[in-house]
Structure 1
């Protein structure tokens, strides 16, 4: 072979080898996806700084604070009394999501109007649904919810423990330097949740079985009813985005009168007038039913109040229900 031909052949082989190496590298990067994003976040962060976390609902904000402790700085998009079903992200919210090291949201279509946002964010940074560790066979799938799962998982303490584990692992992925602290915080919090679960069961047992009926503005308490042996009825469906009409009010009034329900409940994130219409309808039928109190459904109470944490909110709800029904 002539020298020029040998050189050309050598160059062709070399270029082919470089191209092959490049393809292997790109393939490896593609397979690692989320891990690569987490690695990018870790490399950009100052290890001594707090992890910047953006959350959606107040329940998730509290959960991340419990697990992350001193090593996280949590920014919640939704405050007390905010309905996540109807929430629309503002430009300020988008900035908070972009500035975060990691994002936690509920999933299961709870933040219905923000679904596309989380898909886009997941391509840029670690973005986790706290519901993703819950096996499908433990999720409720009401017929009226068009094939979707009930997103109100926090009303079964055992499911919320799974959410805590998802937060723990997400923080460990983004900030492995403090993973042991996140694990220790999670173990402590899981024990507190076990104590909460026992408290709920003991209090519900105070209500005579025939009176364990919870009527609220929308069907947010399905997991609660299933877990703790309470029959649940809501004026609206799983999402407050669904419409209700006179027929829905009449059917609920019929149920209340027939079962002689003595107390029904308003919700902090749903207009009070929904339930007041039911109370008035029952009164016209000659049955007096009172509003037994305000329950927290899709949001916690104000920070610093007894209902300002997940555990405090749940205890407050259960105490309110028991005192009105027993």
Structure 2
């Protein structure tokens, strides 16, 4: 009888021990701790997409704020710590974050979940960089259809991170893609207000080539695809001649690029006896400030196309 009681006690203790050592819960909002997954993104565009699709299940932190140039951005010690503590890190890729490549390599080597949204884009849809024959233009968010692929790739990362809420992520993605389709229609309707000969977009740097290809604009930038390359006197003179010859009504400054070069271009045009106005400020490498109509990717794109069409009419 004593042996039987001892056996039962051992069995009960063992059962309790095994139950206590079960697999830990994830850190989603439904866990006992009530914590959300921490997602860190590089650009403001990616932070916006992550918030739309991640919803209530993620806490999103963007490293770069509105108006920050990702081409020149260097990660601080605090940024590196933030990424190390994150559950998932999302970046654009295609060398947009040109000075952060080593950081991403180190994070990947540590086994952390790292997502480059450009990996989800069909190579045939990518445009070659004019700065380097072996690279692609990284400004993929300026073609809404390509950006839809980027959103799908980000969603794959979230589903890998938090499998318990994969259905919710898919639902959010479906709704977001529908909003992007509406945005695409809006851009095409606004573009149709301009005669084809007026669809010439001149900006501070070559950020809008995908936009031009997708929506039928001839695009010229004073600087190259990366703002790390400076515009020279010959570049200003050549573009000034183009503006005078084509009688271009307006050129545009950018929110993340100093306007001094465009102002110099405007003066060079004036010296040739022709006036070209600055048609407004476009958002190129970031979305707008919080609290404005341009605080989201969709709002930013609407603001851009409105500014472009109104200035070139």
Q: Tell me what 2:275 maps to.
A: 288
CA distance in 2, matches of 1:168, 1:249: 42
Q: Measure how far apart 1:147 and its partner are.
A: 1.9
Q: Tell me what 1:114 maps to.
A: 100
Three-state SS of the structure 1 residue aligned to 2:51 is helix
CA distance in 2, matches of 1:74, 1:67: 11
Q: Tell me what 1:222 maps to.
A: 209
TM normalised by structure 1 equals 0.86
Tell whether 2:38 aligns with 1:52. Answer: yes
Q: Tell me what 1:156 maps to.
A: 143
Q: Measure how far apart 1:279 and its partner are.
A: 0.4
Counterparts of residues 300-319 of structure 1 (less than 5 Å): 300-319=287-306
Tell whether 2:222 aligns with 1:235. Answer: yes
Q: Tell me what 2:174 maps to.
A: 187
Three-state SS of the structure 2 residue aligned to 1:144 is coil
Aligned mate of 1:250, from 228, 237, 243: 237
**Cα offsets for 1:299-326 (capped at 9, x unmatched):** 1111121111000000000000000001
Pairwise CA RMSD of aligned residues? 1.2
**Cα offsets for 1:115-170 (capped at 9, x unmatched):** 11111111221001011111111100034333210000000000000011011110
**Cα offsets for 1:216-251 (capped at 9, x unmatched):** 000000000000000000000100001211000000
Q: Contact 1:168 / 1:183 at 8 angstroms: preserved in 2?
A: yes
Q: Tell me what 1:29 maps to.
A: none
Q: Contact 2:41 / 2:63 at 8 angstroms: preserved in 1?
A: yes
Q: Tell me what 2:309 maps to.
A: 322
Aligned residues: 285
**Cα offsets for 1:264-312 (capped at 9, x unmatched):** 0000000011100000000010000000000000011111211110000
Structure 1: 5+ residue stretches without partners: 1-41
Question: Higher helix proportion, which one?
Answer: 1
Q: Contact 1:54 / 1:102 at 8 angstroms: preserved in 2?
A: yes
